[in-house]
Amino acid sequence: MENFTYFNPTKIEFGTGKEKLIGQHLQEHGIKKVLLCYGSERIKREGLFDLVSQSLAAKGIASVELGGIVSNPVISKVREGIVMAREHQVDAILSVGGGSVLDSVKAIAAGVCYHGDVWDLFVGKTGIQSALPLFAILTLAATGSEMNPAAVVTNEETKEKLFISAPPLFPRVSIVNPALMQGVSRDYLVYSASDVIAHLIESYFTATAFPKVQSRLVESLIYTVIETTETLLTNPADYEARSQFAWTSTLALNGLTFSGAGGFSYPNHAIEHSLSALFNVPHGAGLSVVMPAWMKWYLKQNRPQFARFAKHVFGGETPEEGIAALENWFNKIGTPTRLSQFGITEADLPTVVDNVQIYVQAFGIANIYTPEVVTDILKGAS
Amino acid sequence: MENFTYFNPTKIEFGTGKEKLIGQHLQEHGIKKVLLCYGSERIKREGLFDLVSQSLAAKGIASVELGGIVSNPVISKVREGIVMAREHQVDAILSVGGGSVLDSVKAIAAGVCYHGDVWDLFVGKTGIQSALPLFAILTLAATGSEMNPAAVVTNEETKEKLFISAPPLFPRVSIVNPALMQGVSRDYLVYSASDVIAHLIESYFTATAFPKVQSRLVESLIYTVIETTETLLTNPADYEARSQFAWTSTLALNGLTFSGAGGFSYPNHAIEHSLSALFNVPHGAGLSVVMPAWMKWYLKQNRPQFARFAKHVFGGETPEEGIAALENWFNKIGTPTRLSQFGITEADLPTVVDNVQIYVQAFGIANIYTPEVVTDILKGAS
């Protein structure tokens, strides 16, 4: 195994009814006033907002609201949140929603403590030294943001989708109640499955060395995603499957799976970010298009690991069978596997390839993922 | 999945040379003077002590030494440490050694902050509200103590081996350098393998419900213990196997594996504690005697999980095959599977059975593990 540091101080409150603990947790952290961020008004219609408000009120915690955060969250909304947080002098930020709300909250929490424009933090103009404490109540399991210190936000002016990551951005407490996820649409369920699998395979395939114990953990988690997604497509109310899906999503990107992995990268994410940034494609849907095409291109560089993947996840006998099985499974559950399903044509490819260069640079893999290589990969997804 | 809270703030520094970071970590936590605890003088002969001393000195951190901590650590030594810590007004405790040193350090750290006798904390006379910050450099992978808030210590007067567990006892930083474990004896390697497997199977078999995703993680870890132990028996210098063994040991008892498990217990540990307390049997050796016997007795209560175990760990087809395979493997690697190997005879059983009642009460399972049941289990190990 390569040397590594594992540190993850986020407290996870997992299970039914846990959202009622939010007031208590904020109180334990000495919070008096919070910026409560959310996406659609659905949380009000479905009663979650009331539950949270009551929990805060019971502990005497004041709140101001910032709603309307969208999927593929944007930096303009983050700036709006920073202004509000300062104006109302809140001492914490609370996310009630999925990964897009939570990533916006992380950016707001960091931005409040930075004197310049928050986008500076995304382009690496300066590091993140501090942030307001942040808390989450999760309503969609996909991004793993609830137990890591990273956030991805799109600058809608520059069409860049970039990430930040720094220890102050670990949520202090993340509440994961699978029952709150029961209403997730069929489409977002399958996109989430794709997203979780993407988190699991990036280091698994690209690491210069990936310890066998870690391979086994990753394969266990991918297998669980497949099994629970199929159960949930048949019965969205299956709490056991919903909870195992949610917990797997959390474990997929909390640092566990790539402990001791040699240098690895996020090529699928780098390429997908372009699809989201340019065409506002749902992140998971973009990933299920990119992954099989990337795998076919990358296969020759790590055939033994693709053989493991085929055998331990799908019971296949050749490396190629594993890739085909994953693509077939994406087709079966109904998440896209072709660019054409987004209306993206061959004529769009040069624009995408250009835009991808931003992300492969951000991820430090521009030397491998040249415009020619990215064109090859994307043609495989056409 | 059952509701659960996951929280583990210990920072793990894993890999070669990491022990040199100890001074820096102590400094970052504002530590000026530390009680440095260890077991045998081996760490001085092998140079680790010098490395640690240099790292502390480089950051201007003073230290006082407490050596001579033994396996199955005893409360008298803990009391000695508490006196020293107070006398020298240290502001942290540092463990350099295996689980026995670390568990003693946890007890010292808690005892310093308690006005009465430290054994009160073990018998539950009062809770643990605070502790001095504690740090660890691990030289043996087995107990998992480096990433959890629990400690087990024996009271040599009362012949009780009891545990404490409280959030202040999470190590702030644990340094796990597998290269430091290369000199572990053959015996202690196989006892450690048994200990790690015991940590993995207790909740796996006894939980009222054990999520499938968690079963897969546990089976992955058990498989890794078996694989890496066999490699290390052939080649103790195999760093890759040593590191995967060490990391598996950490994961086996850091809270990950039993997340979402329904009510579970530690019957194998409860029974083994008696063997250690009465006969000073090495903990892992005692566990490899207890486990197969306990499994044969418990099998009827959870056949499906034993079938999983047989299939996914050993490729067996019946639940019975899994138990037999584990016992055979213990025999193969040379960790005991019979009480007679410790010289414990049928005549000793009543004394053991009596003593076990202390631990089944401490673990809250005295209603199941009556003297009759424990006698039956131990007869199976005779």
Does domain B186-379 fall into CATH 3.40.50.11820?
no
Looking at the complex, does the CB of residue B16 fall below 8 Å from at least one CB of chain A?
yes
Q: What is the DSSP letter of B180?
A: G
Q: State how far Cα A315 lies from the chain centre.
A: 28
A255 touches chain B (CB under 8 A): no
What does the radius of gyration of chain B's CA atoms come to, in whole angstroms?
20
Q: Has this prediction a pTM greater than 0.95?
A: yes
Of B11, B17, B243, nearest to A7 by CB-CB distance is B11
- Whole-number Å distance between alpha carbons of A104 and A156: 14
Interface membership of B5 toward A (CB under 8 Å): yes
* pLDDT tens-digit readout, B121-166: 999 999 999 999 999 999 999 999 999 999 999 999 998 989 999 9
pLDDT on residue B45? 87
Is A6 an interface residue toward B (CB < 8 Å)? yes
Q: What is the mean pLDDT of chain A?
A: 97
Query: A116 vs chain B: nearest CA distance in angstroms?
Result: 28
Q: How many angstroms separate the CA atoms of A339 and B107, rounded?
A: 60
Q: Does B211 touch chain A (CB under 8 A)?
A: yes
Distance from chain centroid for Cα B348: 26
What's the pLDDT score for residue B46?
87
Distance (Å) from the C-alpha of residue A132 to the closest C-alpha of chain B? Answer: 19
| Three-state SS at B23 | helix
CB B4 within 8 A of CB A14: yes
pLDDT given at position B159: 87
Pairwise CB contact (< 8 Å): B247 & A260: yes
Q: Tell the burial category of A9 from Cβ atoms under 10 Å away from its Cβ (0-12, 13-18, 19+).
A: middle
Does the CB of A279 have a partner CB in chain B at under 8 Å?
no
CB A151 within 8 A of CB A143: no
Residue type at position B183: G
How do residues B337-362 score in pLDDT, each as one tens digit? 999 999 999 999 999 999 999 999 98
Is the pLDDT reported for residue B312 higher than 90?
yes
The ranges assigned to domains in chain A are 11-180, 184-379
pLDDT by 10s per residue, chain A, length 382: 999 999 999 999 999 999 999 999 999 999 999 999 999 888 988 899 999 999 999 999 999 999 999 998 999 999 999 999 999 999 999 999 999 999 999 999 999 999 999 999 999 999 999 999 999 999 999 999 999 999 999 999 998 989 999 999 999 999 999 999 999 999 999 999 999 999 999 999 999 999 999 999 999 999 999 999 999 999 999 999 999 999 999 999 999 999 999 999 999 999 999 999 899 999 999 999 999 999 999 999 999 999 999 999 999 999 999 999 999 999 999 999 999 999 999 999 999 999 999 999 989 999 999 999 999 999 999 9
**What pLDDT sits at residue B182?**
94
Please give the single-letter amino acid code of residue A260: G
Instruction: Report the alpha-carbon distance of residue A107 to residue A101 in Å, rounded.
Output: 10
pLDDT, tens digit (0-9, with 9 covering 90-100), for B158-194: 989 899 999 999 999 999 999 999 999 999 999 999 9
Put simply, the answer to whether A216 touches B227 (Cβ < 8 Å) is: no
Of A119, A114, A193, A104, residue with least CA distance to A150: A104
| List of chain A residues whose C-beta atoms are within 8 Å of the C-beta of residue B13 | 5
Nearest beta carbon to residue A14 from set B3, B213, B219: B3
- Same topology, domains A11-180 and A184-379? Answer is no
Cross-chain residue pair B221–A211, CB shorter than 8 Å = no
B18 to chain A, closest Cα gap in Å: 8
> Which fold would CATH assign to domain A184-379?
Dehydroquinate synthase-like, alpha domain (1.20.1090)
B237 touches chain A (CB under 8 A): no
Name the residue facing B212 among A17, A211, A224 (closest C-beta): A224
ipTM metric: 0.96
Contacts of B10 in chain A (CB under 8 A): 7
Is the CB of B221 less than 8 angstroms away from the CB of A244? no
Put simply, whether B14 touches A (Cβ < 8 Å) is yes
Q: How far is it, in rounded angstroms, from Cα B200 to Cα B186?
A: 22
* CA A76 to each of CA A154, A166, A274, B20, B245: distance values in angstroms, whole numbers, following the listed order: 9, 21, 19, 45, 48
Which pLDDT tens digit goes with each residue over A317-355?
A: 999 999 999 999 999 999 999 999 999 999 999 999 999
**Could you tell me if B115 lies within 8 Å of chain A, comparing CB atoms?**
no
| The CATH classification of domain A11-180, taken from the options 3.40.50.1970, 3.40.50.620, 3.40.50.300, 3.30.413.10 | 3.40.50.1970
Q: How many CB atoms lie within 10 A of CB B379?
A: 13
